[in-house]
Amino acid sequence: MARGDVQSDLYIALGSGTQDIQPAGGDEYLVTGLYSEGTSSGAYLTGRSGGSTTGALRAGPRGNNSGADSRWGVAGWGLRPLKFIIDNTNFIQIVGDTAGIDVGYSAIETK
């Protein structure tokens, strides 16, 4: 793929599994959106550095929630717009915790 191309995928029924969002070697993505079914629990993100998990990624406050929130897709939140860079070494992993949940992402290839 070339710089400026859209990269996206939808994972059907991720359930309690995990899915890495990891560009090929030498590529870099600007992640622009994460998608999740609106369930009572939803899925969440962890950071990955090579083979190591760096811990849950935390989003800032939204609505009446004044604290950090590592969950996205909760209580009907289907789309979480955001912007961050990932590459082949430092990437993200979607972690599902609800049977049958569908999740996805959208990104722009920057390198």
Q: Is the pTM of this model over 0.85?
A: no
Please count the structural domains in the chain.
1
Please write the tens of the pLDDT for every residue from 14-44.
777 888 889 999 999 999 988 877 655 667 7
Q: Cβ(29)–Cβ(85) under 8 Å?
A: yes
**Residue 71 falls within a domain, yes or no?**
yes
**Residue 1 falls within a domain, yes or no?**
no
Please write the tens of the pLDDT for every residue from 38-95.
655 667 777 788 777 776 666 666 556 555 555 554 434 567 777 889 999 999 888 7
User: Range of 87's domain?
Assistant: 6-109
**CATH no. for residue 17?**
2.60.120
**Residue 17 falls within a domain, yes or no?**
yes
Residues 6 or more apart in contact with residue 81 via CB below 8 angstroms: 32, 33
